[in-house]
Structure 1
Amino acid sequence: MDPEKDYSNVKPPKTYKEQVELYKNRNLYIENSEYAEKILQRINYYRLSAYGLTLKDPINKNQYISSSSFNKMLSLYEFDRRLRLLLLGVLETIEIAFRTHISYEIAHKFGPLGYKDKENFINEKFHKESLDELEILIKKSRKGELFIEHHYKKYEGIIPIWAVIEVTSFGFLSKIYRNLNEDVKKHIAKVYYNIPYYYLESWLQSLSNVRNVCAHYGRVYNKKLTFKPRLFREESKQFDNQLIFAAIYIIQRLLTKTEGNRFITDLEALVLEYEDEIEFTQIGFPSNWMELLSKINSKNKI
């Protein structure tokens, strides 16, 4: 600690029992104090309390509304946790699909090492930064990825796009797609998703951030998206692009029919289980959310 600084304003830590009492003093109904203590031994008070923000009195922010309870707050936490896990699964599917699209199109249009040529990208500075980032990812992968070490031993470290793409992150894919030659971007967007490429640019940026939030146990309930996805005019009239439903909607747009059917089924089951606890406005779900998602899946999908 810095002896020059005054730490007197830092709050002292509270025991699990004191944390429960603090909830009680703030008008949160505790159904079972012993159970609440056990939960707080597993879930940090600070993390759990974030799910009580929508249960706070709008006038006195230090107090909970009379109908709020510890179990309701815990239910919101559990819903959010399970929603994140569900989203991670489909985001993995989308990430792998885009690794395939990007590597295939670069390889067939520019050659196995076309990703190294600045002429195949829009911004030379961003391209150089991407290559530098890729070099770091490759070096980190040598210890754990046999296919990377294989290319060092047999091909002197010359790695084709279809191999090197496998060490990239969702965020990297988003950036490389944004900087790709415009004709290639248009081709990927048209052939695989039948949409203008600038929507795909926006969606990948938004979903890569959602993926990071989910992977690092961040909150999506009652939380605005860092990057708001660009929506078609008709869609923007039906729901807010700042909340998680917007991400769910574009996820559904990027899944195949089979993947989309499975996603809708799992999402519906989760929502039905928690529908008495969650506030749909906090996640941006319109009243016809199932109809909207199902309608996407009935369109021209493979």
Structure 2
Amino acid sequence: MKYEKKPITIDEQINLLVERKLFVSDIDRAKRYLSTIGYFRLTGYMYHLQEKDGSHRFKEGVCFNDIIVHYQFDKKLRTILSDYLERIEIALRSKLTYYYCINHGFYWYTKYDLYTNKHVYNSINKEIKNSYEKPQERFLKFFKQKYTFETLPPSNMAMETLTLGKLARLYKGLRNNDQKNAVAEDFGLPVTILSSWIIYLNEVRNICAHHGGYGTEVLQ
């Protein structure tokens, strides 16, 4: 099927919403929101306010402000979740570095026998190596200039280069041992639960960061 829909102006977008029985009390305000947020994104906050018959017609009494209220709630919720997810991410980095460094040294992540999943070993070490070869962070640039003998950064720096998704893969791919258990215990969870939760929370974080999870209506 070929996409043949035509772009429409903000005035036409408002007319379309009004035709669908949406009450718009302040046209200028609606124009401001449509111009700064965009019709496409706002459609994600319209679906549950519309009839379920495929007509896109709004339920009786629904107004433009109802859409904005839901949008603002979602924005605040994403902010709150992002804050707490960042705390979890930072804590995971810190605990991995602490427990594994104390027992296996600063370059523990390069030790093949600490992993049960060798693909994860290769992926993590490749990621860290690539970050170190062309460092973007100032701390990596400084370390590389000072410690010219080293080809990789120590764990306290290496973990900072990994996204939450990579950290989740790393933790899951590590062999079960006292250090892996200690990390989980600090979170008050069994290893298997923490591992699955981190993977899930990474998906939540990506939704919050990239504004995923809302509907995507195509203009008609």
For the aligned residue pairs, the C-alpha RMSD in angstroms reads 1.8
**Per-residue deviation, 1:34:** 2.1
1:187 equivalenced with 2:182 (yes/no): yes
- Structure 1 residue aligned with 2:167, among 173, 185, 191? 173
Residue in structure 1 matched with residue 18 of structure 2 by the alignment? 24
Q: State percent identity of aligned pairs.
A: 29
TM-score (norm 1): 0.66
> Which blocks of at least 5 consecutive residues in structure 2 are unaligned?
216-220
Q: 1:32 to 1:188 in 2, by over 3 A?
A: same
Q: Distance in 2 between matches of 1:213 and 1:11?
A: 28
Offset at residue 68 of structure 1 (A): 1.7
TM-score, normalization: structure 2?
A: 0.89
For residues 184-221 of structure 1, what are the alpha-carbon distances to aligned partners after superposition, in whole Å with 9 as ceiling and x for unaligned?
3222112x02321111011101111111111123346x
Separation in 2, partners of 1:139, 1:23: 53
Q: Which amino acid in structure 2 is aligned with residue 63 of structure 1?
A: R
Q: Is the 8 A contact 1:186 1:196 kept in 2?
A: yes
Task: Indicate the residue corresponding to 1:266 in structure 2.
Answer: none
Structure 2 match to 1:93: 87
| Count of aligned pairs | 212
Matched residue SS, 2:7: coil
Task: Provide the rounded CA distance (Å) in 1 between the counterparts of 2:161 and 2:64.
Answer: 43
Alpha-carbon shift at residue 61 of structure 1 (Å): 4.1
Greater relative contact order, per chain length (Cα 8 Å cut-off, separation 6+): 2
Distance 1:139 1:70 in 2: 52
Q: Judge conservation of contact 1:16–1:37 (CA < 8 Å) in 2.
A: yes
Check the 8 A contact 1:110/1:120 in 2, yes or no: no
- Is 2:132 the partner of 1:138? yes
* Structure-2 separation of matches of 1:89 and 1:150: 29
What does the per-residue CA deviation read over 1:3-45, in whole Å, with 9 as the maximum and x for residues that have no partner?
Answer: xxx96x4211111000001111111111212221121111110
Q: Which runs of 5+ in 1 are unaligned?
A: 1-5, 223-302
**Structure 2 counterparts to residues 54-203 of structure 1, below 5 A:** 54-140=48-134, 142-143=135-136, 145-156=137-148, 157-183=151-177, 184-190=179-185, 192-203=186-197
Find the residue that maps to 1:182 and give its secondary structure. coil
Shift of 1:128: 0.5
In 1, Cα distance between the equivalents of 2:68 and 2:21? 16
> Distance in 2 between the 1:76 and 1:139 partners?
45
CA distance in structure 2 between the partners assigned to 1:213 and 1:60 by the alignment = 27
Q: Deviations over 1:209-246 (max 9, x none)?
A: 111111123346x8xxxxxxxxxxxxxxxxxxxxxxxx
